[in-house]
Amino acid sequence: MKSYKSILTKTAIALLLGVITFGTWYTYTYTMKEARSFDVNKPESSTKLLIATQGSEFKDTVVSGIIDHFDDQNIFIKVIDVYKLKDIDINDWNAVCLIHTWEFSAPPTSVKKFIKRLPNLDRLAVLTTSGNGTYKMEGIDAITGASVLETSPDVTSQLINKIETILRSQKNNTFNFSFQK
């Protein structure tokens, strides 16, 4: 009986260590780095774009493309990490662009909570990345794809088109810029 308990205990410990090892590897391999926060243009601008993202080479490339496109159009752009969304009021922004990965079979909790707080989704442009490139939150009109650097120009262009559509639809703002680049 003692050897049975000993084998069961050793097996349980080995399984627990295996789960911890796998969890650590998965987190290290697939969890995104924190994105650097910064501003582009003057906060006094009447048009404001928030980009909430995660740190990766692909996402950084997409964010840079968006900023390059809108940089000279008198639009205040703020870039933050998605985990800072809890401090964001959608009413302070003409458009919000969320760029996140699908982790542990779900979007980051901060993204889910932010979207649940929204009265509607009319100011939201979303890019969701995942290993196979097909996951997105139910009910969210998102661009989806894998984080393949070669696809970043196309993905960036799609996001820019969504953001431009959102900015054009803002009824209470007068835009004095052209989206031609």
**Which position has the token pair 């922004």?**
93
Contact 79, 35 (CB under 8 A): yes
Model confidence, pTM = 0.77
* Distance from C-alpha of 11 to C-alpha of 45, rounded to nearest angstrom: 62
Helix (H, G, I), strand (E, B) or coil at 17: helix
Phi-psi region of 120 (alpha: psi -120 to 50; beta: other; left: phi over 0): beta
What pLDDT does 159 receive?
Answer: 95
**Which residue, 88, 81, 90, 82, is CA-closest to 112?**
82
The answer on pLDDT for 133 being more than 80 is no
* Distance from C-alpha of 52 to C-alpha of 172, rounded to nearest angstrom: 24
* 47-101 residue pLDDT tens: 999 999 998 999 999 999 999 999 888 899 999 999 999 989 988 999 999 999 8
